[in-house]
Amino acid sequence: MQSSQLEVLQGCLACLKQGNKVTLVSVAKTWGTSPRPVGALLAVCDDGRFFGSVSGGCVEEDLIERLQNNPITAATTYIYGDTPEQRAKFGLPCGGSLQLVLEPFNDVAHIEQLITAIQQRKTVYRRVALSDGAIKVEPLQPEHEAHLSDSHWSNIFGPVWQMLIVGAGETGRYLAEMSLALGFDVLVSDPRPQYIKNWPLNHVPLLPGFPDDIIQNMKVDKRTVIVTVAHDPKVDDMALLQALHSDAFYVGALGSKSNNQSRRERLVEHFGFSWQQVNQLRGPVGLPIGSKTPPEIALAILAEITALRNGRDISAQLNAANNREEQSA
């Protein structure tokens, strides 16, 4: 899900409660290179406020200028970049084009319904009839996808990504700060008193208790990332005992190749895990960018997570390439 969905909806709700009208703009189709994916949102209030992004640059400037003075009253579609003149005017990269759905977005109860679903970490499928604006919201099914047909625009609304960082040292600190910038809801756990006392980020409080209890009690879903960076087996393994049994999208552990192999063997021999389970562990965590310092390690971790969220397993590709080189040597 787009990390800005909740912010867009909350911005819309604030505008409506102040008596304004809102137009919701969604990216429905793209051709060529597009700076925003299908499903991205922009909401424009009739007083000039706006939330989210569908392109950047001149496209949004044009939308905001038009929609603040003339809010949409019926669902419609519009294409930017279908002529060379438009592509030049609106700065669309590499000759790309995008088709947008514009709709009035003024039903407070409906917006509150979407906000509540996201806050409860539920994912829903929203369909809008282009003919009369009728809306249907239902739980997401495996076959659902963001899609524009001749009669309907359908989009997916779901929870923000959350990250549990186990370990409140320097790496945990930088990982927390960078993850916030990427839209994660960041949680941090570390049972060690000296690290609790020394945690510097007041806006990211440490959760009380042990990491295995925290994971067991939190709602772990497919939009959850769990990363252990305590570099202390007593703490990291405690978290992994729960994390590897969860539905987390990503479970990673800091440490060298040999340390992580020892960790996998320990989990199999002493804690009853199968090799299939422990091989889901990302370790060494992060992309191999030669990182040494805590900020560089945090960057490597987030680079791998971002790639996986975008459907690219770069670590697997690199491992396969290395295996081919070794076999041909």
Q: What is the SS3 assignment for 86-135?
A: HHHHHCCHHHCEEEEEEEECCCHHHHHHHHHHHHCCCCEEEEEECCCCCE
Instruction: Compute how many other C-beta atoms are within 10 angstroms of the C-beta atom of residue 221.
Output: 17
Q: Check the CA dihedral 114-117-123-129 and report its sign.
A: negative
Quote the pLDDT of residue 84.
Answer: 57
φ, ψ (nearest 5 deg) of residue 104 = -65, 140
3-state secondary structure of 60: helix
> Side-chain half-sphere of 171: how many Cα atoms within 13 Å?
26
Tokens of 139: 């739980």
- Burial (CB count <10 Å: 0-12, 13-18, 19+), residue 220: buried
- Burial (CB count <10 Å: 0-12, 13-18, 19+), residue 269: exposed
pLDDT exceeds cutoff 50 at 147: yes
Give the distance from CA 193 to its chain's centroid: 31
pLDDT exceeds cutoff 90 at 10: yes
pLDDT tens string 182-217: 989 999 999 999 999 999 999 998 998 999 999 999
Q: pTM for the full model?
A: 0.81
Tokens of 106: 């003024």
pLDDT band at 314 (very low <50, low <70, confident <90, very high): confident
Q: Which residue has the tokens 């909401």?
A: 43
Interatomic CA distance for residues 267 and 329, integer angstroms: 34
Q: What is the mean pLDDT of residues 258-284?
A: 93
Quote the pLDDT of residue 263.
Answer: 94
pLDDT exceeds cutoff 50 at 273: yes
pLDDT band at 325 (very low <50, low <70, confident <90, very high): low
DSSP secondary structure of 191-218: --HHHHHH---TTSPEESS-HHHHHHHS
Instruction: Give the domains, in start order, of the chain with CATH numbers.
Output: 5-157 (no CATH), 162-319 (3.40.50.720)
Interatomic CA distance for residues 126 and 136, integer angstroms: 6
